[in-house]
């Protein structure tokens, strides 16, 4: 082949990757810098939306905050009224030639501005409880953390071993899992009244609700994790002379430990979601008592502050546990390495 070869112009080489290639490459790891930027962004974005709603009057602001009631008899300074009502009263005042009410756009009371919540976050820890027998916010929080701790511990002490046994021995799995499968569909709060009748009105029933909410899922999840252990590892151990109990303690348990740890982290988050319901049972206590009290007096900035604190506690615990897990299970293959 010589003269018959038709020369073709080489196709333009794909130039520098555009920003869509670096940010929207399918399942490609981002640079550390953009990762940090995105983490910050994921928190900043909702906060910015919240700010927009709070500080930009044209975004929402369906209410009017009265600054001067004028001639309207039932208006009072700092009162919040619907925009429609305000408009009607202004019209009436205009027709009658009396003093006009004054006011500016505002959001409903249940949406405080970020700076109010930020202030509440600070003052909640620095203001003494109004009643002498009341609790400081940090005391309420500590009480809640203890409820979670005991509920989750009680659940884990029984649930984790049972789950491991179910995942290892089919006999136990068949014997227990169908019932647990049934039970886990029952909403934990449904047992509230029963728990109070049996365990009294203080912490007992609350711990019980956390337990019921966690335990049944825990058994099934741990059993499943146990079943995912590579059976070849068990076979290898058998050919090396491992006996039944050794198989369980020397292969199954160490083999599933990292996954078990991850399960526990997820389940702990789960336990937190049962907290509010649990604390409403019997005598209201802990952070829930704080939230309901503040909501009753319409101190919604304190409500938001409490909710945010729960979120922060959850997130920080999880981050610490994640870091601990990384250190504990150094032998695990990192997902990035082949």
Partner 1 sequence: MNNPPSLPSHLLQSAAVRDRFTRLKQREVILEVKHLGKQFTSAQGTVTALKDINFKTHRREFVCVIGPSGCGKSTLIRILAGLESYTSGEALLDGEPIVGACAQRGMVFQGYTLFPWLTVKKNVMFGLEMNDHSKTTAEREALQWLELVGLSKFADAYPHQLSGGMKQRVAIARALANQPRILLMDEPFGALDAQTRAKMQSHLLEIWKNIDITILFITHDLDEAIFLADRILVLKAHPGEVQELIEVPVPRPRNFMQITSPEFLATKARLEALIHPPKVEDDDEAQIRPHMIRMARVGDDVEDVE
Q: Which residues bind partner 1 (CB under 8 A)?
A: 1-2, 4-6, 230, 232-233, 235-243, 246, 250-251, 254-255, 257, 329-334, 337
Closest C-alpha among 210, 215, 212, 211 to residue 272: 210
To partner 1, the closest distance from the beta carbon of 168 in angstroms equals 16
Q: Which is nearer to partner 1, 26 or 231 (CB)?
A: 231
To partner 1, the closest distance from the beta carbon of 149 in angstroms equals 28
To partner 1, the closest distance from the beta carbon of 218 in angstroms equals 22
- Output the furthest CA–CA distance in the chain (Å, rounded): 102
Residue corresponding to tokens 């019932």: 179
Contacts of 262 (CB under 8 A, 6+ apart): 325
Q: Are 107 and 63 in contact (CB under 8 A)?
A: yes
To partner 1, the closest distance from the beta carbon of 269 in angstroms equals 25
To partner 1, the closest distance from the beta carbon of 238 in angstroms equals 4
To partner 1, the closest distance from the beta carbon of 253 in angstroms equals 10
Q: Which is nearer to partner 1, 4 or 20 (CB)?
A: 4
Q: Are 75 and 36 in contact (CB under 8 A)?
A: no
Distance CA 310, CA 316 (A): 10
To partner 1, the closest distance from the beta carbon of 242 in angstroms equals 5
Tokens describing residue 320? 């610490």
Closest C-alpha among 256, 254, 266, 255 to residue 224: 256
Q: Which is nearer to partner 1, 6 or 15 (CB)?
A: 6
Instruction: Give, in order, the Cα–Cα distances in Å from 253 to each of 130, 229, 258, 311.
Output: 51, 10, 10, 32
Q: Which is nearer to partner 1, 13 or 231 (CB)?
A: 231
Q: Which is nearer to partner 1, 118 or 237 (CB)?
A: 237
Q: Which is nearer to partner 1, 97 or 241 (CB)?
A: 241
Q: Which is nearer to partner 1, 327 or 331 (CB)?
A: 331
């Amino acid at each position: 082949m010589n003269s018959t070869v038709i020369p073709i112009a080489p196709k333009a080489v794909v130039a520098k990757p555009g920003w869509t290639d670096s940010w929207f490459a399918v399942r490609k790891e981002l640079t550390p810098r953009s990762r940090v930027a995105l983490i910050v962004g994921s928190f900043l974005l909702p906060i910015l939306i919240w700010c927009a709603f709070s500080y930009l009057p044209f975004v929402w602001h369906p209410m009017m905050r009265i600054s001067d009631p004028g001639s309207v008899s039932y208006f009072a300074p700092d009162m919040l009224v619907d925009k429609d009502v305000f408009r009607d009263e202004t019209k009436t005042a205009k027709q009658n030639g009396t003093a006009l009410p004054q006011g500016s756009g505002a959001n409903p009371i249940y949406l405080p501005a970020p700076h109010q919540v930020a202030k509440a976050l600070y003052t909640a820890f620095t203001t003494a409880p109004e009643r002498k027998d009341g609790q400081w916010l940090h005391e309420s929080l500590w009480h809640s953390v203890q409820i979670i701790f005991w509920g989750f511990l009680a659940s884990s002490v029984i649930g984790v071993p049972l789950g491991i046994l179910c995942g290892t021995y089919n006999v136990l799995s068949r014997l227990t899992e169908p019932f647990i499968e049934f039970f886990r569909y029952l909403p934990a709060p449904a047992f509230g009244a029963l728990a109070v009748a049996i365990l009294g009105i203080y912490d007992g029933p609350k711990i019980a609700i956390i337990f019921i909410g966690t335990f049944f899922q825990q058994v099934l999840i741990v059993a499943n994790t146990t079943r995912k252990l590579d059976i070849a590892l068990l076979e290898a151990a058998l050919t090396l002379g491992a006996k039944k109990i050794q198989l369980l303690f020397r292969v199954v348990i160490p083999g599933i430990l990292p996954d078990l740890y991850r399960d526990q982290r997820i389940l702990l988050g789960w336990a937190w979601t049962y907290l509010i319901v649990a604390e409403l049972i019997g005598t209201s206590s802990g952070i829930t008592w704080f939230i309901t009290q503040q909501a009753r007096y319409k101190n919604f900035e304190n409500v938001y502050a409490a909710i945010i604190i729960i979120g922060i506690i959850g997130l920080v615990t999880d981050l610490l546990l994640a870091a601990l897990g990384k250190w504990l299970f150094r032998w695990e293959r990192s997902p990035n390495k082949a």
